[in-house]
């Protein structure tokens, strides 16, 4: 994709070291807010959307050094997970949505709070990318300015997805290609997951009843100048008394309005 800096700091933070605390990046919003007083455009996550998950794990080698690797290279328990990333891909609509997450600086968050492969917890989202899929196995993410396009070249094997390389173009001019394997020293693999739910769960709450699913399997977006906010609606209120959240524009660097609705 993109610039090496973006690749290393935004998309695959776990391979570069996490130094921030694990606080949520969303804001609560009431149904009476202006965002819900009139219909908003949305992306409906129908049955054509398939979930792919990448779990970055950590282990010590014989010399006591820390290793970070893919699940296909390391059979470990959940206590070794330090990062989780999600891809939602619809071949029918040619849409792709990527969610990055960020654990705490001690890299122990998912050891305690990972809900399992069947859950996508909005509490953990850091950045949400929206893109399109073309016939050449390319995922194209267009910036909100429309001037920058990041392209992920993928390969599908046994239902899983590998990111082969990252290409960057500016003003429709090809600039750089980065083989993902060499940029990050390991293959980038997303494993296919069958059934899944997008939920909201406060990790400080131990009660499973606080795992709240989406109300309508839709992701709403609202223009904010030349940028966008993203909204999620849930079936019931959280213990904080809200059932809607939004992510601000700085968490949405790419254009959701380009996706097929």
Return the CA Rg of the chain: 18
Nearest residue to 141 via CA among 166, 108, 116: 166
pLDDT at 12: 40
Nearest residue to 152 via CA among 258, 33, 7, 5: 7
| pTM score | 0.83
pLDDT tens-digit readout, 213-257: 999 999 999 988 889 999 999 998 887 788 899 999 999 998 898
Sign of CA dihedral 240, 242, 243, 248: negative
Question: For 36, which DSSP code?
Answer: G
pLDDT at 72: 47
pLDDT tens-digit readout, 164-185: 888 877 655 555 555 555 445 5
Nearest residue to 242 via CA among 231, 250, 234, 253: 234
Low-confidence residues of the chain: pLDDT under 70: 1-22, 31-39, 59-79, 103-104, 170-186, 206-209
Domain ranges across the chain: 4-258
pLDDT at 106: 75
- Dist CA 6 CA 151 (whole Å): 13
pLDDT at 55: 86
């Amino acid at each position: 994709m993109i610039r090496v800096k973006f690749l290393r700091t935004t998309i695959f933070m776990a391979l570069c070291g996490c130094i921030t605390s694990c606080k949520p990046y969303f804001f609560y919003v009431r149904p009476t807010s202006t965002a819900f007083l009139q219909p908003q455009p949305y992306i409906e996550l129908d049955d054509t959307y398939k979930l792919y998950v990448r779990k970055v794990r950590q282990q010590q080698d014989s010399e006591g050094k820390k290793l970070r690797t893919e699940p296909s290279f390391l059979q470990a328990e959940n206590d070794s997970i330090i990062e989780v990333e999600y891809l939602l891909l619809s071949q029918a609509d040619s849409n792709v949505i990527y969610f990055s997450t960020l654990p705490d600086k001690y890299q122990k968050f998912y050891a305690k709070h990972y809900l399992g492969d069947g859950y996508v917890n909005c509490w953990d989202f850091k950045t949400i990318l929206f893109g399109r899929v073309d016939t050449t196995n390319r995922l194209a993410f267009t910036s909100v300015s429309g001037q920058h396009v990041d392209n992920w070249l993928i390969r599908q094997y046994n239902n899983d997805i590998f990111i082969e390389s990252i290409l960057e173009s500016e003003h429709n001019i090809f600039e750089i290609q980065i083989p993902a394997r060499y940029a990050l020293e390991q293959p980038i693999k997303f494993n296919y997951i069958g059934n899944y739910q997008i939920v909201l769960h406060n990790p400080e709450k131990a009660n499973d009843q606080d795992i709240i699913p989406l109300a309508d399997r839709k992701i709403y977006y609202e223009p904010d100048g030349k940028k966008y906010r993203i909204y999620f609606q849930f079936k019931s209120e959280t213990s904080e008394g809200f059932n809607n959240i939004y992510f601000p524009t700085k968490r949405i660097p790419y254009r959701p309005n380009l996706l097929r609705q």
